[in-house]
Chain A
Amino acid sequence: MSLLNITNLHAAVDESEILKGISLTVNAGEVHAIMGPNGSGKSTLAQVLAGHPAYEVTQGTVTLEGEDLLDMEAEERAWAGVFLAFQYPVEIPGVTNAYFLRMAYNEVRKARGLDELDPMEFLDLLEEKLKVVEWGPEIMERAVNFGFSGGEKKRNEILQMAVLEPKLAILDETDSGLDIDALRIVADGVNKLRSPERAIILVTHYQRLLDYIVPDFVHVLAGGKIVKSGGKELALELEAKGYEWLTGIPEAAAV
């Protein structure tokens, strides 16, 4: 059974349809890149998969390991193993990173019938996970994303991913706003988290990220549909030719 199965997914926000029939199958161990011009629906797809309430699914199905994902609240999806690394991670003043992360970790543990970790036990776990993003423990005493630089916010997302160990990680424009050093750290972090049990979906506008995280599959999204799928070489082709040659394709030719 495939890990994620998206069939003919339509979604709208404020009654305007953004996703117009997306079908995609993702197996454990695979890395898929979803590329496309601005406004093509890439981020919407990420948000819909994570369960953002602003988007209404009007048609289609999504299953995770055979379970109906669309029927779950956002937190239930997290418990089931879905993780969204946000394009714009949200600030939560007054709540330390350590506290927030432990709470999230324990909620997921609880939902899976595992024991919660106390602060000391969690600290040990955290020490290991911090290495994934090359961070020291200082960052954990700061409030969640509050006053973080763009790069720090993205690193924090990857740290959360490392702690929560999702089955399916969706990285929404994780490369946007990163300088070259931050990009390397974030990409290295993601590569360390690649595993045969985990699928990763990279949502990105630029090919640049894919130099660091090499995908197994590349899909081009335009006008709310996947208009082309291919291997990692498709990303290079896009880099050379831009998106126009694809978005100009007649509707009938779209997958």
Chain B
Amino acid sequence: MSTEMETLVNREYKHGWVTDIEMDTLPPGLTEETVRFISAKKEEPEWLLEWRLKAYRRWLEMTEPTWPNVHYPPIDYQSIAYYSSPKSMKPLGSLDEVDPKLLETYEKLGIPLSEQKLLAGVAVDAIFDSVSVGTTFKATLAKEGVIFCSFGEAVKEHPELVKKYLGSVVPASDNYFAALNSAVFSDGSFVYIPKGVRCPMELSTYFRINAANTGQFERTLIVAEEGAYVSYLEGCTAPKRDENQLHAAVVELVALDDASIKYSTVQNWYAGDENGVGGIYNFVTKRGKAGARAKISWTQVETGSAITWKYPSVILQGDDSIGEFYSVAVVNGMQQADTGTKMIHIGRNTKSTIISKGISAGKGQNSYRGQVKILPKAHGARNYTQCDSMLIGNACGAHTFPYIDVQNSTSDVEHEASTSKIGEDQIFYCKARGLNTEHAISVIVNGFCREVFRELPMEFAIEAQKLLGISLEGSVG
């Protein structure tokens, strides 16, 4: 191994700056009062407060999971602030009223919020710490009956929908972090696509953590009625800070019969420095429930966060429903990721596909954890899993934990796995053809991820490729 492969990690995180804006931040600490405060601040109805309190009480009885293959000092949940919003925020303000500093923030992140400047065909909901800054193209979407708004707004404007579906896929008691989120979630996005409607544009939420010592607990709920279609994208960044910050989100997808939801994530939270100081703890629960002939497709590109713990899953409840999971997870420096999916086959002839690409560089540790469960009534169910790991350098690790549980003999489950190493020989081959080292690595890694990138919407695919380049910058040579 030459020095080229040994010199590690010298990356620049380009979203590491802080917006200087006056914030209303709840002092650190979590009690029943905190939950009540958040609910009151958001002017929530009684039933939602009760729902939160129930989740909070449940959370108190639960213990933090220790099974993930990640290591971090115990989190002091009393040292985290659970609510933070810009002082200038008016509830439900239109985009015209948004503080220019916030608009600048998103402009700088490459997410202009004025509709004229936006990418045609993408509507954006921007979440800044605990609140939604604004949602674009609402009027255009409303014409089709599509609802795309902040979660807080949905609670006020469409309480019947929220009440019906909130917690219907990820119950408050599902796991430790989902319970915590259910108790203290602040904002997030809500999407509703009526029966038979194909959402005319890509919907996108951009999450930004800004305040220090603040957790971000957003909640996303997407409901696609019978035969509806929607493609949804989320992106995330945070400033560089020396403390670890907790991000515990919950995403629920409901695809009724014949509906289709495509959910794409480019996660680029701050990863901490090369010594593992700072960075986001990204502990997220994402799950979808698919009705008959419905399809739910998760695509994720995970390059950021100090620790990632997430398993976007699909409950294949209806007959002939389809679940897909395409993932690229990159760890560099001291990053740790334990990510994968669960495919729960309940209905007949349900199909799932899992393509996971893990890339480890620096001292990063990358684990794929996946569960494929075929229940007794899932006749003719099929799963195909492909799980590939790539190692860059000698100090990183790749781990695979597949769980396969088949209870129906007419089903068909396939699992393929590979581990490869970007070798000097691969890089030398590219160099001998005139590509420099960085270029060579980017070509090799992007080739490795191709099956996942081609699932992303065009602009996102380009963004993801660039991000991958930045994440691995300095990992070799």
Contact = CB atoms under 8 A, between A and B. Distances in A.
Interface in A75-120: 75, 77-79, 83-84, 86, 89-90, 92-95, 100, 103-104, 107-108, 111
B421 to A, nearest CB: 12
B448 A93 contact: yes
Interface residues of B, number: 23
B434 A79 contact: yes
Nearest to A89: B429
A8 B429 CA distance: 26
Contacts of B4: 53
Nearest to B429: A90
Contact of A52 (B428, B433, B434, B439): B428
Contacts of A73: 431, 436
Given A53-B4, A86-B429, A94 B434 contact: no
Nearest to A93: B447
Contacts of A92: 426, 429-430, 443-444, 447
A78 B431 contact: yes
A51 interface: yes
Interface string B435-458: 110010001101111110000000
Contacts of B432: 50-51, 74-75, 77-78, 83-84, 86
Contact of B433 (A93, A94, A160): A160
Interface string B406-437: 00000000000000000011101111111110
Interface string A146-189: 00000000000000100010000000000000000000000000
B2 interface: yes
B447 A78 contact: no
Interface string A45-68: 000001111100000000000000
Contacts of B447: 92-95, 143
Contacts, number: 76
A11 to B, nearest CB: 15
B449 A75 contact: no
A93 to B, nearest CB: 6
A50 B451 CA distance: 32
Of A51, A78, A94, A143, chain B has the most CB atoms within 10 Å of the CB of A94
Contacts of B444: 92, 95
A177 to B, nearest CB: 17
Contacts of A108: 434
Interface string B345-368: 000000000000000000000000
Interface centre among A51, A83, A93, A108 (most CB of B within 10 A): A93
A142 to B, nearest CB: 12
Contacts of A89: 429
Given A53-B2, A92-B444, A95-B447, A104 B429 contact: no
Contacts of A95: 443-444, 446-447, 450
A116 to B, nearest CB: 12
A46 B451 CA distance: 35
A107 B433 CA distance: 8
Contacts of B451: 94
A73 B428 CA distance: 10
Q: Which of B434, B439, B449 has the most CB of A within 10 A?
A: B434
Q: Kindly name the residue among A75, A77, A92 whose own CB sees the greatest number of chain B CB atoms within 10 A.
A: A75
B449 to A, nearest CB: 7
A103 B435 contact: yes
Contacts of B2: 53-54
Nearest to A75: B431
Contacts of A143: 447
Contacts of B430: 92
Given A79-B434, A90-B428, A95-B446, 10 more contacts: A50-B428, A51-B428, A53-B424, A54-B424, A74-B431, A92-B430, A94-B447, A94-B449, A95-B450, A164-B433
A-B complex: 3 closest residue pairs judged by Cβ atoms: A94-B447, A94-B450, A95-B447
Interface of B: 2, 4, 424-426, 428-436, 439, 443-444, 446-451
